[in-house]
Structure 1
Amino acid sequence: MTQNIVAEARPLTAFPKGSKVTIHSFCAGGKARCRLCAMGLTPGTSVELGSNGSGPCRVKVRGADVVLGRGLADKILAKLM
């Protein structure tokens, strides 16, 4: 019997440094969504976590490094690639 394991979307801050994930959706209001989209963080985009400790979250998206505060990074739901 084969089990089909589906990766569930988790907040970006739940992944360790070096993880490559795909943005699934946002759990945020209109202003936060607009800000994230303006930075190139849109659903379906692949990102790599550069650092994800107790401070800001650094991600590499579309060839650029973006640093997000923990609050904003918590609103991004992603899945492992």
Structure 2
Amino acid sequence: MSPLESLAHFPPGSRVRVEALCDCPKVRGRLCAMGITPGTVVEITAGCGGPVCLRARGACMSIGHGLAEKVMGRLAQPAEEPVSRVA
């Protein structure tokens, strides 16, 4: 099993299963409102030290590097939940 890392550390093209969020209720609430919850598989579409662009639950979004640091996950296995594509 791969180690936990923050979303900010995964390269573009990675499919990541969210495992944990930070303990701050305000930050957790914001992430949950965006659909980034433990168990969700997200696809990193861009990010190189700045904002992290990702696709989660059929929506494309960007989150700041600091917020991405507070979301911990690991690489998703190919047979896991597919990421929805929006045409």
Taking only aligned residues, the RMSD between alpha carbons, in angstroms, comes to: 0.8
Aligned AA for 1:22? R
* Cα displacement (A) at 1:61: 0.3
* Cα displacement (A) at 1:66: 1.1
How many percent identity over aligned positions? 42
Question: 1:36 corresponds to which residue?
Answer: 31
Aligned equivalents of 1:55 and 1:13: distance in 2? 9
TM-score normalised by length of structure 1: 0.89
Contact 2:16 2:42 (8 Å CA) reproduced: yes
Aligned equivalents of 1:26 and 1:59: distance in 2? 16
Does 2:45 align with 1:58?
no
Aligned equivalents of 1:54 and 1:79: distance in 2? 18
Describe the SS at the equivalent of 1:40.
coil
Question: 1:15 corresponds to which residue?
Answer: 10
For structure 2, list consecutive stretches of 5 or more residues without a partner in the other structure. 77-87
Aligned equivalents of 1:14 and 1:70: distance in 2? 10
Aligned length: 76
* Cα displacement (A) at 1:54: 2.2
For structure 1, list consecutive stretches of 5 or more residues without a partner in the other structure. 1-5
Aligned AA for 1:25? A
Which structure has the greater CA radius of gyration?
A: 1
Question: 1:75 corresponds to which residue?
Answer: 70
